[in-house]
Chains A and B, each alone.
Chain A
Amino acid sequence: MARVELKSVSKKFGGVVAINDLSLVVADGELLVILGPSGCGKSTALRLIAGLDEPDVGEITIGDRVINDVDPKDRNVAMVFQSYALYPHMSVARNLEFPLRQRGIDREQRDRIVSDVAKRLGLTEMLARKPAQLSGGQRQRVALGRAIVREPDVFLMDEPLSNLDAALRIETRAEIAELQRELATTTLYVTHDQVEAMTMGDRIAIMNDGALQQVDTPETVYSKPSNVFVATFIGNPGMNVFSGTVDPATVSPGDSVLELLIAGNTLSIPADGELIDDVRSTLGPRSRSTTGSTSGSTPGASNVLIGVRPEDASLVSDGGVEGNVVIVESLGSEAHVIVKLHDNSTFVVRQDHSARRPSPGEPVNIALDVQRVTLFDPETKARIGR
């Protein structure tokens, strides 16, 4: 059926790398969200699948067909553009009908399809109107309708909600997800909005600088980010990542605790044998060369990046990591306490509504949920273990 696969695809525009060695499989019927900051290459990936741009190297397949050299119109994909790309001189009905006119479908059947789709999307009353007479949400639905009338193998959606206001966006994203599930059409959905990605995607592919960072379910991407970029990009605010040290020499196989040194405070985290092995193999060989080079670290210790989600930290009266409150951002139901640690790095703690709000300048102690600490290799920025 319509499984989409990209194999080692790269694309440059001029000298600028838009996509670098991207390999990705979208299962039949799946809704895969491609998420990333602007300029990360996510829209380019979509345009390569649509055939609006051509890859420099690599292979793209839809179903069991290699489509690199297939004309866009013969790929049987439908795209929803960020701008909606509605034809301003045509009525809604004519816009919806436009993709059908090229396919030798007779008038009667066209009318039937259009009225079915219009009913499904609540556009029946608007069929005679021009796009300029519609609200943003209605325009968006016409664009969606134009994609589904063709019953394509693949939907490609390029930031389809970014022109809607916040309330409408929440409503529409649920509608699109529901529609996609109903139609069970393979869908690639590009967005820079992580909430959209988390709520809609069966899986999320996160891209940065033209390279794929991680593909996984929303839960996994959140709880087990594959690297520092994903950790800090996902979540609002993102994961706190700060440096600390661990002495691989002090951990031996069979230990169940890992001792970390953070801004002068020691933190013990429970570890299974696998993590211990990973830490030893990742940091061990390097420890000798970096020994003593970092001030404040004990001889023989290695730097490590430590990641903690804001909700996995809390303010306590003593112990933990020390710092001073910079500002407290209250969002009503919760608050973000921004703390400056003694090594000048910033740490955000998320408090629920019941917690006491500290005042700016106040010295605080941060306790970390040791069960939920993530470690990253400071050189490759990749997650260690687990």
Chain B
Amino acid sequence: MRALGVVPKTRRRRNEALLGYALVLPALVVFSVFTFYPFARNFKLALYVTPPYPNLPSRYVGLHQVAQVLTSSSFLTSFETTLLFSVMVVPAGLLLGLALAVAAHRKLRGIAIYQTIFSSTVVTSIAVTAVIFGTLMNPVVGLLPWLGITTTPPLLENPTWALPCIAVLTVWQGIGLSFIIMSAGLQSVPDELLEASRVDGASAWTTFFRITVPLLSPIIFFALVVATITAFQSFGQIDLLTGTNSAFLHTNVLTYNIYQTLLVGAGNPGKAAILSIALFVATMLLTLVQIRLLERRVHYAR
């Protein structure tokens, strides 16, 4: 006769394991179907020319297609554009965020209102931002005609100015996140260190550059990586403002190029897959840096 509630050890272990698998299963299914499978399939698609209509056989073309895409002027231009765009957006966004965070990191009257204002661009979506700035850059109702300046072609169709204009609104939209991250970083700098530095007779400038910035460096670095990844994935602002106009080629960043290659005109999944892999490699390198950084932070905190 077995007493009530007797469960052999092995069965209890197995039950716990089964529950564990059951709990991770839903997420694992989503990841498998919508992250890992499509990711892996890119490598296969890259070797085929896939017709735009279903049920037609794909044609194997091998690495030839990869070489063709990676050396095409379309890819090289868009890669260059992506890098150029990141260089315009990332440092400016970080500096602006840091400057505002430092300015707002003081006990002044009404500071909470300023903090809310600076954070607010995190809730303006990229579509909203694009429409707002599209208006400000409009050749008729925008700011330039207001100041009496006219450009031909208009700013957003101008080969020289289209990308910087997109960059300006991207920086503006990034202010919120950059400010929030930098503020959190500043709050983690112990006040005693700043006070000690002040007591030691250091000026405000010296304290900032010798104490605050070094202590903030892991966070600045983190913000840098996040901002770069975000810049690499920019899409909506281009789609809304320059995607269909004559300056399009000068703002055709990688993500937009994937979209174009896949969906505009005949559509070419194989080439889009190759571009996707290129985007992944670039992003992965940046993410690895980020993980390294997080690890270092953990050690630093202990």
Contact = CB atoms under 8 A, between A and B. Distances in A.
A69 B9 contact: yes
A66 B7 CA distance: 12
A70 B9 CA distance: 9
Interface string A59-95: 0000001101111011100000000000000000000
A54 interface: yes
B201 interface: no
B198 interface: no
Contacts of B12: 71
20 contacts: A54-B9, A65-B3, A66-B3, A68-B9, A69-B6, A69-B7, A69-B8, A69-B9, A70-B3, A70-B4, A70-B5, A70-B6, A70-B7, A71-B5, A71-B7, A71-B12, A73-B5, A74-B4, A74-B5, A75-B5
B242 to A, nearest CB: 52
Contacts of B3: 65-66, 70
Contacts, number: 20
A334 B293 CA distance: 61
Interface in B141-156: none
B18 to A, nearest CB: 16
Nearest to B9: A54
B17 to A, nearest CB: 15
Contacts of A73: 5
Interface of B: 3-9, 12
A68 B3 CA distance: 11
Nearest to A76: B5
A65 B3 CA distance: 7
Contacts of A75: 5
A77 to B, nearest CB: 12
Nearest to A68: B9
Contacts of B5: 70-71, 73-75
A140 B12 CA distance: 32
B3, B7, B9: most-surrounded residue (chain A CB, <10 A): B3
B5, B7, B12: most-surrounded residue (chain A CB, <10 A): B5
Contacts of B6: 69-70
Interface in A34-64: 54
B208 to A, nearest CB: 38
A347 B184 CA distance: 61
Contacts of B4: 70, 74
A382 to B, nearest CB: 36
Nearest to A63: B3
A295 B159 CA distance: 103
A70 B4 CA distance: 8
B75 to A, nearest CB: 54
Nearest to B2: A69
A74 B6 CA distance: 8
Nearest to B11: A69
Contacts of B8: 69
A45 B5 CA distance: 21
Top 5 nearest A-B pairs (CB, nearest first) are: A74-B5, A65-B3, A69-B6, A69-B8, A70-B5
Contacts of A68: 9
Nearest to B12: A71
Given A70-B4, A70-B7, A75-B5, 17 more contacts: A54-B9, A65-B3, A66-B3, A68-B9, A69-B6, A69-B7, A69-B8, A69-B9, A70-B3, A70-B5, A70-B6, A71-B5, A71-B7, A71-B12, A73-B5, A74-B4, A74-B5
A342 B4 CA distance: 65
A228 B3 CA distance: 43
Interface string A164-191: 0000000000000000000000000000
